[in-house]
Amino acid sequence: MKLPAIVVHGGAGSWKDDRIPIGLAEVENAAKVGFRILETGGSCLDAAEACTLYMESCGKLNAGLGARPNSDGEKELDAIIIDGFELKTGAVMAVKGIQNPTSLARYVMEETEYVMFAGEGARRLYDRMMSEGYRKEAEHGAIQMPLLEEGGDTVGCIAVDVGGRIAATSSTGGISEKLPGRVGDSPVFGAGAYANKVCGATATGYGEHIVRVVMCRMAVQYYENGASIQKASDMAIELLERDTGSEAGIVMASANGDFGKSTNAKAMPTVAIRENIDSIERFTR
Ligand code: ASP
């Protein structure tokens, strides 16, 4: 067992060479934010939310502040959070005017009877969340780092707490020049992210292709069927490539703290930390 554990990616794609170290540095910062919560006994959900919130707020990755605009020049954000132990999820899709959709997704999961909200309804739910004091804003539309005193591309993480409970996130501005209202895989349970009591996975790549193979659920199934976690990650990417010809990336972590990652794209800045902060592992793909 190597717990707690966190594995974080900053998006798979054709990164420009000079942007890879910038993305990797932000992914490392985010992983440390999440790991600090885990190592002091915090929950996987708190760690996954804070880690993802960091990446949404850094402005260097395709999520939150740094999200790519749609063809109308507006940011429309998609995000999901999953509580693997309880098999619960919350997601928001094509939401405008906010910076941190993952916190809103958690509100959907924890404070409503629903699992998915889209567009203007999601935006209104954000106002309700704020009026109830669920989170505090640093400025309008941007949430304060909620759980700490201190303070590309699609982002996502899998956090496993000391109790072996798994949380997964994915957060994105989507693909370049997407039409208004377009939603990709990222907020779709099973496709863009998945977690249960055994294992979690989160994906990045061209959403229209990832949904067709339900990539994250498939990856976890491969692991449940007996593949090693690295093999399960590789098999998920092979499935996507075989059935759609596309490129993507995936990171996975299991309840005992094993992790895997795989991509057939040029780069996918990824960081894993397990047991203690000195065990940090950095990968450019
Ligand atoms: N999966 C995201 C989407 O299709 C994009 C990405 O991973 O960069 O919206």
Distance 262 CA to ligand 1 centre (A): 16
169 a catalytic residue: no
Mean pLDDT of 163-171: 98
pLDDT of residue 146: 52
Mean pLDDT of 30-54: 97
Cβ of 174 closer than 6 Å to ligand 1, yes or no, is yes
pTM, entire model: 0.95
For residue range 114-136, what is the model confidence (pLDDT) as tens digits? Answer: 999 999 999 999 999 999 999 98
Q: Is the pLDDT of residue 209 over 70?
A: yes
Q: Work out the mean pLDDT of the chain and round it to a whole number.
A: 95
The CATH number covering residue 77 comes to 3.60.20.30
Cβ of 172 closer than 6 Å to ligand 1, yes or no, is yes
Cβ of 70 closer than 6 Å to ligand 1, yes or no, is no
Q: Which residues of 99-121 are buried (b: 16+ CB within 10 A; e: fewer)?
A: bbbbbbbbbbbeeeeeebbbbee
Cβ of 207 closer than 6 Å to ligand 1, yes or no, is yes
pLDDT of residue 152: 56
Ligand 1 nearest-atom number relative to CA 174: 9
pLDDT of residue 140: 78
Write down the catalytic residue from 102, 154, 172, 244. 154
Q: Which of 80, 186, 188, 244 to mutate to test the pocket of ligand 1 (most atoms within 8 A of CB)?
A: 186
The count of structural domains within the chain is 1
Q: Which domain holds residue 252?
A: 5-283
Q: Is the pLDDT of residue 239 over 80?
A: yes
